[in-house]
């Protein structure tokens, strides 16, 4: 039972005007239960479900219970039949039919940035010294460098690029 289904069940209970009742809503969706239990709500559907559960819980004792799917629980079997029927019906509503998770655009940007960085690294002009010591851009190296202070990063960068105050570099630029 998805949060939308849980909300529909709660709405039906609210419509019936139950008060001072022990209401148990069974679901085979552990994901729905975890989403409803998680303190930070990022989905409008989960927020609406949480609010409707709170409204029902003001006058009743409400309990959400996980039941294993396809295990013979009568209400759950009926819900599965309705879900299959609903998924086979033609879509009604606004497009797109499949929403994108919030992380999708960020993941796409991360992938594009990573590819562009790799491309620039391997096609770039110069960087002879750095390319000898660094195999290419990488997440692990970036994570370890980000945690260093500015002085340490400066020293590491100057050594890896060959622009440190070493005799070879000082001789190359005419200071020795």
How high is the pLDDT of residue 13? 92
Distance in angstroms (rounded) separating the CA atoms of residues 93 and 80:
22
Give yes or no for residue 54 having a pLDDT over 90: yes
Residue 77 sits in the same domain as residue 38: yes
Q: Please tell me the predicted confidence (pLDDT) of residue 149.
A: 93
Give a yes or no: residue 96 inside a domain. Answer: no
Residue 3 has pLDDT above 80, yes or no: yes
Residue 95 placed within a domain: no
The alpha helices in 17-166, defined as continuous H runs, are: 30-37, 44-57, 74-88, 103-123, 128-133, 139-146, 150-161
pLDDT at residue 92, rounded to an integer = 66
Per-residue pLDDT at 23: 93
Residue 97 located in a structural domain: no
Alpha-carbon distance of 127 to 145, in angstroms, equals 19
- Domain with 64, as residue range(s), is 3-88
Q: Which DSSP symbol is given to 91?
A: P
Whole-prediction pTM value?
A: 0.48
């Amino acid at each position: 039972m998805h949060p939308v289904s849980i909300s529909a069940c709660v709405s039906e209970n609210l419509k019936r005007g139950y008060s001072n009742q022990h209401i148990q809503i069974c679901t085979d969706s552990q994901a729905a239960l975890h989403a409803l239990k998680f303190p930070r709500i990022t989905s409008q559907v989960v927020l609406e479900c949480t609010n409707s559960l709170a409204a029902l819980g003001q006058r009743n004792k409400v309990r959400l219970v996980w039941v294993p799917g396809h295990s013979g629980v009568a209400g759950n079997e009926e819900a599965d039949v309705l879900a299959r029927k609903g998924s086979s019906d033609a879509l009604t509503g606004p497009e797109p039919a499949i929403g994108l998770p919030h992380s999708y655009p960020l993941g796409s940007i991360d992938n594009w940035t990573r590819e562009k960085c790799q491309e620039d690294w391997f096609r770039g002009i110069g960087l002879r010294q750095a390319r000898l010591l660094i195999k290419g851009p990488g997440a692990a190296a970036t994570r370890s460098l980000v945690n260093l202070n500015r002085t340490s990063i400066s020293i590491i960068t100057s050594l890896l690029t060959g622009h440190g105050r070493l005799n070879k570099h000082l001789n190359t630029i005419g200071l020795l």
